[in-house]
A and B are shown apart, each in its own frame.
Chain A
Amino acid sequence: MSAVTPVPADRLSRFSLSPTAGAWVALLGVTMLLSHFSRDLAKALDMRWAIRFPSGWKVPMADWVSAAMKWLVEEATFGLFTFTQMTRFIAWLIERPYELALAALSSGWVQGFGADAVQWLPPLSWIAVTVSLALLGHYVRDWKLAALAGGAFLYLAVFGQWDSAMVTLASIAIAVPLGVAGGLALGITAFRHRWLERLIMPVLDLMQTIPIFAYLVPILFLFGFGPVAALIATIIYAMPPMVRITTLSLRGVDPEIVDFGTMAGCTRRQMMWRVLIPSARPGLMVGVNQVIMLSLNMVIIASMIGAGGLGFDVLASLRRLDIGAGLEAGIAIVVLAIALDRLSQGLAKRRPDHHAAQASGNLLRRHPRAAIAAAIVLATFALGRFIPAVQTYPEALAITTGPFWAGMVEWLNVNLFDTLEAIKTALLTWFLLPIKRFLLGIPWPWGILLCALAGWHFGRWKLALLCATLAAFIAVNGLWAKAMTTVYLCGASVIIATAIGVPLGIWAALSERAGKVIGVFIDTLQTLPSFVYLIPVVMLFRVGDFTAMIAVVLYALAPAVRYAAHGVRMIDRQLIEAGIVSGCTPRQLLTRIRLPLALPEILLGLNQTIMLALSMLVITALVGTRDLGQEVYIALTKADTGRGIVAGLSVAFIAIIADRLISASARAARKRYGFVGEHG
């Protein structure tokens, strides 16, 4: 070693900033100043247009969309038939099976209308449905799953949610097969034709980022208010992951198996249905599970355009702030979701073994469970004619928890009001409002410039152009202020979700026991339909930004935890050992090795958190935020297609800007560490 030891570069950098980081800090400072003084500055320089986008400059994009929609419904024709005739035909196609499912589960077969209606065949009895589902659980896995499925349906009956639950189940029973079949068909076509895949995938990306509300409006316009429109919205919402998973799993089939299929002399069709699809079954079943969960997620939202059942109950009670009833119906959705989720997961993991294959004999012996189910259906049908309690669960025995929840809320409000209010006020004053003021103060031209600069930093001119164009779209539609409110709510929620989620994730990865508990917690959070979060939060904090933020945090927490845990878990064991051998303390192991290496994964988790937060934000418009979500919601209530689509696209564009910037930075981090490839 020489006498003059140069200070290592990394030591230096801890005290002084690199030129780029310095530039960003300076930019932030300028932005803060601009934001703070923008009003005075604009007045002084006579540049009011920079603060408030002049209405004269607004591009009437919403009107154009509305006009196009009107043309589509009133004039568009394919020659042989008009566009409206086509939508009616689609509606008819979906309506038939739906009516069948509804009759079987809920309404029974009825002849005549109104007061003259005579039910000539009752629906399946509650006992028959419960036992059948329990038997399905046993077939899929074991007695435990049977108990879970049976218990869930028993709960629905005992707690008086049966009728609504069966209406919901009927729509799920139609939406899921159609969503799966449609997704499979599109996925297979995309798998066969690369060009089609290149066409479909960006559309799917956009569909998953546009808030659901935005496409409720055109569906409402095309199909009218009612269960069919709700089913179509559900299918559209639940299908994209199935398409993606289908293409991915087909492409993931072992090339040797494909070669085998060719060598066995399979035709194209034999190859697809006898080799590829069965081999890809585990992946495809994950897709089916996704479709089920997304359909359930849509239950409440779909009730806005005419779906009945549990979703409608939640929405109605939320509107009249009947917390007890809302929570009851909400819990019923969760119970239904858990039962269907576990059943479909069990089905996905089910692998027959040779003992099962050896069973032989007559039909009865080969399918004992189906035989029992059929027997019970028939028996309860016959008995139900004489004993009504067999047919429908007696109302007198139903337990209602509504008053209990209402009482609990009252108690909480009386006893904890001051504490909760103090927490709320503190967070609002010191955290939410400063962010809001800062973001809303930024003049829109400066905002667009910032987006472009960030794009340039991570992805050069292509990304810069994309970010600037998307931001400009929002501005020229006169939605800048609402978009900034969305960014503020989303940003604040994401900061909190990350602050809670990342440490939780790291803890889950480091300690096995914590990992198990946190895993269950996160799984439960993800099974809950998004609306359910709103109910207890509204109960405690009433409507407003704060309530919205809490609901969004709860909803968006899961990916932050999952990705952080995954990032820490996948670090090469040898690197940790190298750290221990070099004498790292546990703290140093965490800060010097684990965190930096998990950073790319954590960034991807952040990306997902933002996406989920944005999708939840639109829903929280129901509790009175003044952002793009509210804009979409208003459009929905007014059936204003153009307004809804433009606002929906604006939310999607915010999501796309965030997604592209974060993905680019995650990619840069991966490249720096030399993990290339994974996750695109």
Chain B
Amino acid sequence: MSDLTKLGCRGLWKVFGEDAERFLRANPDPAPGAFRANGLIAAVRSADLDIHVGEIFVIMGLSGSGKSTLVRCLSRLIEPTAGELLFEGRDLLKATQAEMIDIRRYSFGMVFQHFALLPHLSVLENVEFPLDIQGQDAAHRRERALEVIELVGLKGRENYYPRELSGGQQQRVGIARSLAVEPEVWFLDEPFSALDPLIRREMQDEFLRLQAMLKKTIVFITHDFDEAIRLADRIAIMKDGAIIQVDTPQDLVLAPADDYVSEFTRHIPRDKVLTVGAVMHKGAPAGRKSRRANGAAEPIAASARIAEIAERVVDADAPIPVADAEGAIVGSIDRTAIIDVLVGRGQVK
């Protein structure tokens, strides 16, 4: 486990059913069919994850894939059946109830799919709630609550009750509430799934804006692959309780681990995922000749997405040089490469 890892798990299992623990101890590596035969359901199968400091880690899977159970195991809302759960190198499964309460009070925050706002409290009181539970005094928690309410753009609505707000606004309250305690790990369980598509997009932008500011370590659950691609630094794909692949969005598209993953990636607008670096011709363009032909063509950054630069490359008559982060020319990109990406043709390198 590297120093970068904030939260992780090793061989984490969640098996529902009677005597699940004994069954796992007797069969450390059971065959997938063995559970049903014993009247058990394996919701999470031997999950290994390393979630790095400051990254948005998305767990993606369809309903029933176990993603919700996995995130609840990571926060120990559900007791895992076997394995290790590591938070800053310490096994949380060995923590006592009182220690868990402390960790949840000060280090974890969570946003829920259906907002989970307390109906009898106003926006302000809802946001203050976790601080109140910590035992902070009234003046202090009010100041902090007003601060985060402003941060999520709900200033002026402090005295409203949840039922007086729209879905999007309610989720802003949920976000403010989870941020009030300044958590180190921020769990978001399908936070935007209950919102309609336009609001969802707006909230995703809002979320990225907040993360750019706050740099939290984030575990984000979604069933929507587009959302995962849009938000994630890295994505874990789950199927039937097992994690199939953990990679950056680009690597998932470029090298899907199996047919299941490639089925997801097939309909993804590749130009929005792939970077120039992934499709360019490697190596500096041949000699001075081509450079002259391009005139003084401004190089394109290797980390740029295809969609951002497609128009410029297609309009250009000759390949455009590609520069890495330091500005050194590492390759070039031409019209054909862009068209290949757009129509999904050919193998990307």
Chain A residues packing against B (C-beta within 8 Å): 254, 256-257, 259-260, 262-267, 270, 274-275, 278-279, 281, 351-354, 357-358
* Inter-subunit contact A254/B120 (CB<8 Å): no
Task: For A263, list chain B residues within 8 Å (CB).
Answer: 75, 77, 104, 108-110, 187
Binds A, one of B159-167, B197-205, B217-225, B288-296: B159-167
What are 27 A-B contacts defined by CB distance under 8 Å? A254-B114, A256-B114, A256-B115, A259-B77, A259-B110, A260-B112, A262-B77, A263-B75, A263-B77, A263-B109, A263-B110, A264-B104, A264-B129, A265-B102, A265-B104, A265-B105, A265-B130, A265-B133, A266-B133, A274-B133, A278-B119, A278-B120, A279-B119, A279-B120, A354-B122, A354-B160, A354-B164
Shortest distance between the CB of A350 and any CB in chain B (Å): 11
Whether A257 pairs with B118 at a CB distance below 8 angstroms is: yes
Residues of B within 8 A of A353 (CB): 160-161, 164
- List, in ascending order, chain A residues with CB within 8 A of B187's CB: 263
Whether B101 is near chain A, meaning CB under 8 Å from some CB there, is yes
Docked pose: A312 CA to B82 CA in angstroms: 66
Bin chain B's interface residue count: 20 to 34
Closest A residue to B129 using CB positions: A264
Q: Is B113 an interface residue, CB under 8 A from the partner?
A: yes
The reply to whether A254 and B104 form a contact with Cβ atoms under 8 Å apart is no
Q: Which of B75, B106, B116, B163 has the most CB of A within 10 A?
A: B116
How many residue-residue contacts, CB under 8 A, span A and B? 71
CA distance A262 to B161 in the complex (A): 22
Q: How far in angstroms is the closest Cβ of chain B from A274?
A: 7
Chain A residues with Cβ under 8 A from B108's Cβ? 263
B272 interface contact, C-beta 8 A: no
Find chain B residues with CB under 8 A from A281 CB.
120
Across the A-B interface, give the 5 residue pairs with the lowest CB-CB distance, nearest first: A265-B105, A256-B116, A265-B104, A260-B116, A264-B130
**Residues of B contacting A358 with CB < 8 Å?**
159
Interface of A is mostly: helix
- What is the bound-complex CA distance between A519 and B157, given in angstroms? 39
Q: Could you say which residues of chain A place their CB within 8 Å of the CB of B113?
A: 256
B245 within 8 A of A: no
User: Are B161 and A275 closer than 8 Å at their CB atoms?
Assistant: no
B314 to chain A, nearest CB (A): 48
Known: A259-B72, A354-B164, A357-B159. 5 other contacts (CB 8 A): A254-B116, A256-B114, A259-B116, A262-B77, A278-B120
- Name the B residues within 8 Å of A265 (CB-CB): 101-106, 130, 133-134
Using a CB-CB cutoff of 8 Å, which residues 50-86 of chain B contact chain A?
Answer: 72, 75, 77
Give the CA-CA distance A256 to B75 in the complex, in Å. 13
Chain B residues near A254 (CB, 8 Å)? 114, 116
Is B161 within 8 A of A354, CB to CB?
yes
Interface set, chain B 82-108, CB cutoff 8 A to A? 101-106, 108
Collect the chain A residues with CB atoms within 8 Å of residue B102's CB. 265
Shortest distance from the beta carbon of A458 to any chain B beta carbon, whole Å:
30
Shortest Cβ distance from residue A343 to the other chain B in the assembled complex, whole angstroms: 20
Given contact pairs A278-B118, A351-B161, A259 touches B104 in the complex (Cβ within 8 A): no
- In the assembled complex, the Cα of A274 lies from the Cα of B157 at a distance in Å of 23
Instruction: Flag B157-177 by CB within 8 Å of A: 1 or 0 each.
Output: 101110110000000000000
**In whole Å, how far is B87's beta carbon from the nearest beta carbon of chain A?**
14
Which residue of A256, A259, A264, A357 contacts B105 across the interface (Cβ within 8 Å)?
A: A264
Which residue in chain A gives the minimum CB-CB distance to B115? A256
Give chain B nearest CB distance to A361 CB in angstroms: 15
Are B120 and A256 in contact, with the CB atoms below 8 A?
A: no
Give the residues in chain B near A352, CB-CB below 8 Å.
161
